[in-house]
Structure 1
Amino acid sequence: VDSNENAFKMAAIFAMKDAFRKAGSILLEPIMDVEVTTPEENQGDIMGDLNRRRGQIQEMGSKGNVAIVKSKVPLAEMFGYSTDVRTISSGRASFVMTPSSFEPVPQAIVEAICKERGTVAA
């Protein structure tokens, strides 16, 4: 055999990419249940921020002058949320985040990830 180690590595990489493409692989991302408790005057800004993070509002409610917003948000979008929610509410809001499910990553984001890594989306 006149092939070197690098040639075998490249052949394996191409074979794996081809197999993933043919299998119709789907990139999944973790989705979190997020419950924010905030003064009512900040509810709109909190909801806007969750929407900006690709969040899906599930439920809204209130107890006295406190609003409760429940949503599902991709974990990748939640980095920095603690700081942002404090800024939006002047430190008066709090949130709880728990794992919910895994969902397919939107195609536009898959393509951006692949471009960043120098690969091709399936």
Structure 2
Amino acid sequence: MQNNIITTCAVCGTKLEVTELHCCRCDTTYKGHFKLDKFSYLTPEQKYFIEVFLKCRGNIKEVEKELNISYPTVRSKLDDVICSLGYDADGNEKKQINKREILELLDKGEITYEEAMKMMKGNSK
């Protein structure tokens, strides 16, 4: 049985990092810090919506028919996916970062105290 990869910590909700990859055929193992793409963090429902949306070539009327949902629901689901990918509904990229990540950046010296405070208040660095 094959399991889907989990992407967030069940304890604190932080995004998980892949640290090991293994080839079942030749038994090679890679260890390191590997990033997952934005789409890996979407829920199964969001991935299904994207699949239907692409199959319908972005035609909202067709998505409505396929999923048997209303136009406002299609728009809402689309906005949800857009936000989950790190953008606002207007198409501008927004940096979604939690307080733990801000503190880690500060600890590594990648940002200043002032930048950390701005980010904690909702401003980007």
Structure whose alpha-carbon radius of gyration is higher: 1
The question of a shared fold, defined as TM-score above 0.5 by the shorter chain, is answered with no
TM-score by length of 1: 0.20
